[in-house]
Amino acid sequence: MHFIPPVEALKSQLDTLSDSAKKGFIRLSTSCQVNHLMGWLNAQSEYPRFYWQSREAGAVEYATLGAVKAFDSLAALQADLARLADLGGEQPDYFGGMAFDTSTVGWEHFPGCHFLLPRIELRRQQTGATLSLNLRFDDRCPEAEIVQARACLAALKEERPLPCLLPHVYQREDRPAQKEWAASVAQVTHPDHLSHTPKVVLSRETCLTTPETPSPWALLARWQAGAADCFHFGVQLTPHEAFIGCPPERLYTREGRHLMTEALAGTTRRGRDAQQDQALADELLADKKNSLENQCVYQQLLTQLEPLSSHVQMGEAHTVKLRSVQHIRRLIHAELHQNVTDQRLLAVLPPTPAVGGVPRESALAFIRQHERHRRGWYAGVLGRISHTSSDLSVAIRCAHIGPETIRLYAGAGIVAGSQPDEEWHELDAKIADIMSLLGMG
C-alpha cells in the first residue's frame, strides 16, 4: 500500500470535505507514528501548546496545538459545551486551567480562567497515535475556517529529539524566606486564629535565576519519567513562558454522571528501605496533625457534594507513595444530579482545603493578606473537559518557566500542631524531584 504522510492525509481529507459535512463540529483524523509527544510539541512554531496525561498508568497522552476557540470564563465554556451537545455528533475535548484565586491579580499572560478547543490534536494510547484536525462550522464562515485550518496544517513541523538538559548554575531565592515563613506559621497556629480558621495552606515561591532556562518540554519529559501515579501537564500560551507540572492530586474526574474526587493531604518522607517506608506510612496514618490536614479536606468535599449529588461514598484512608514523599489519601465517589455541570463543579469545589484552607473565605483572606508572591495558576485547576467526561488535577508540584527564571511552588497545610521548621522541610521535600533534575538536589 502507498504510504501517505499524516499531514498530507489530513490535507486531502480537508480538500475533499463535502459541503454537507460542513456542519457543527467535525474532527478529521489519521493514524500516525510518533516517538515523543513533547519532542513533537517542542519542534512546532505555533501557540498555544498543551500537553496532558491523566494519572493512571498507561493513560492517554494528548498534545495540542493552536485553538479553534478559546474561553476566558467557565460560563462561556459551558455554553459552548451545551451548544455542541445540542448539535449532537462527536463531542470534543477542551483543555485548560484556572488560577488559584481568580479575585486577585495572577500571572501575566495567564488569565484567571482559560480553556481552549485545540486546532490540532495529537493523541497517543496503547493502540497507537492519532493526529486530528478540529473544525467548527456552526458559528463562523466555513471558507475562513478552512483557510485557517489549512494554514495550521501547513505550519506543522516534523518531530525532533528533545534537547539535552544542560547543567545550569542557578541563583536561589525563597519567598517567603524561612524566618518570615515561621512568623506566618506562628500566626496561623495561634489559638485565637485556630479557633475560627483551623487550616490555612501557606505556600512558597522558589525563584531560580540563570541567564538561560532549559526547554520546558525537555524538563517536563524528564520529570514525567520519574513521576508515576501523577498527572503530567505542560502549557505554553505564549512563546517565552511555560507552566509545567506533575501533580499527584485529582480535583475530580467525571464519567457521565459519576464523579470521583479525593482528599489528598498529610505528608511524610520516603524511607531508606521498604521496612522504614512502611513504618513512616503507619506513623503518618496515625499522626494527629496530618490526619487533621486530611480531615479538613474530606469534610469540606463531602459538605459541598451533598447538595450536588446522591450516593456520596468515601473510602478508607491510605498512603500514596511518590518519589520523595508519601501522602494520606481518601477517595470519594458520588452520582451527580442531572443538572450539575462542570461549570457548577468548578465554581464550587476549588480551591479545596488541600491548597486553600477552612473555612475557605477566612483562609483565603489570610493568604491574600500575608503571601507576597502571586500564586497564579499554582494550586489552581488544570486538565481536560468534554460533554461526556472530564478529568482535572490540582496544579501543585509545578514550575513556571520564563526566559531567565524558573519559579517552583510548594505549600503546606498549617493546622494545630504544625511546627514551622518541619513545615519548611515539607516544602523542600515537595520540590525535591524537580530540584534534583535541575542539578540543585
Q: Is 265 in the site for ligand ISJ (CB under 6 A)?
A: yes
Q: Do 253 and 56 form a contact (C-beta atoms < 8 A)?
A: no
Give min distance, CB of 15 to ligand ISJ, in A.
49
Q: Interface mask (CB under 6 A) for ligand ISJ, residues 319-338, using x and -?
A: --------x-----------
Distance CA 122, CA 433 (A): 28
Q: Do 10 and 131 form a contact (C-beta atoms < 8 A)?
A: yes
Q: Interface mask (CB under 5 A) for Mg ion, residues 230-269, using x and -?
A: -------------------------------------x--
Q: Interface mask (CB under 5 A) for Mg ion, residues 397-426, using x and -?
A: ---------------xx-------------
Could you tell which of Mg ion, ligand ISJ, none binds residue 411, using a CB distance below 5 to 8 A set by kind? ligand ISJ
Helical spans, DSSP H, in 211-359 = 216-225, 274-286, 288-305, 342-348
293 is in an annotated binding site: yes
Q: Calculate the alpha carbon distances from 91 to 84, 197, 246 in Å.
A: 7, 43, 27
Give min distance, CB of 288 to Mg ion, in A.
12
426 is in an annotated binding site: yes
Distance CA 174, CA 321 (A): 26
Give min distance, CB of 305 to Mg ion, in A.
23
Q: Do 113 and 78 form a contact (C-beta atoms < 8 A)?
A: no
Q: Do 116 and 379 form a contact (C-beta atoms < 8 A)?
A: no
Closer residue to ligand ISJ (CB): 49 or 330: 330
Residues 413, 429, 433, 434: which binds ligand ISJ (CB under 6 A)? 413
249 is catalytic: yes
| For the chain, counts of helices (H) and of strands (E) | 13, 22
| Amino acid symbol at 252 | Y
Give the phi and the psi of residue 107 in degrees, each rounded to 5: -85, 145
**Three-state DSSP state, 388:** coil
Q: Which of 199, 262, 371, 430 is catalytic?
A: 199
Q: Interface mask (CB under 6 A) for ligand ISJ, residues 362-401, using x and -?
A: ----------------------------------xx----
199 is catalytic: yes
Distance CA 85, CA 149 (A): 23
- DSSP label of 242: E
Binding site for ligand ISJ (CB under 6 A): 201, 249, 264-267, 293, 327, 354-355, 396-397, 409-413, 430
Residues with catalytic roles: 199, 249
